[in-house]
Amino acid sequence: MSKLTHTDDKGNAIMVDVSSKPPVQRYAKAEGFIRLQESTCALIKENEIKKGDVLTVAEIAGIQAAKHTANLIPLCHPLQLNMISVKANLQHDGVLITAMVKCNGNTGVEMEALTAVNVALLTVYDMCKAVDKEMEMSRIHLLEKTKQPL
């Protein structure tokens, strides 16, 4: 039988214990892309999508998502985040989302950066679904992860 989660000595499912790790400055950067029709990109550029300013709403959604990562992914540790930056860049064939997250803690912030990217992409999808039936999210990946002593 495979082991599905980390368990204590009594077999109870637990999050990984990071209490013995020293707090350090943590940083992660992730990105993802949503391919759109050129006509959809033009509507976004002219701010003519009925639901509103797609790029700004996607950025705010990504920030909110990073703050709620531990509520969405069961075994993620809740973290006190020091900085979240989400940028939605309109390109000729879609939107590139880049998220950066920092904290001072004893576990990394890559899941927060990846969650920010995914939710920002989903927000673009939601806001454009009425005008574009061919959208495709892809290239979601971690670009960088660092830790430095405080």
> Is there a contact between 4 and 107 (Cβ–Cβ < 8 Å)?
no
Please pick, among 9, 17, 93, 126, the residue that the annotation labels catalytic.
Answer: 126
Task: Give, in degrees to the nearest 5, the angle at Cα 116 between 79 and 52.
Answer: 135
Cα–Cα distance, 30 to 12 (Å, whole number): 33
For the beta sheet containing 136-148, the strands, ordered from the edge strand earlier in sequence to the opposite edge, are 81-91, 94-105, 24-35, 136-148
Active site residue 126: yes
Distance CA 100, CA 110 (A): 9
**Helices assigned H by DSSP within the chain:** 38-45, 54-67, 69-72, 110-128
Residues 6+ apart with CB under 8 A from 147: 24, 25, 26, 27, 108
Active site residues: 126
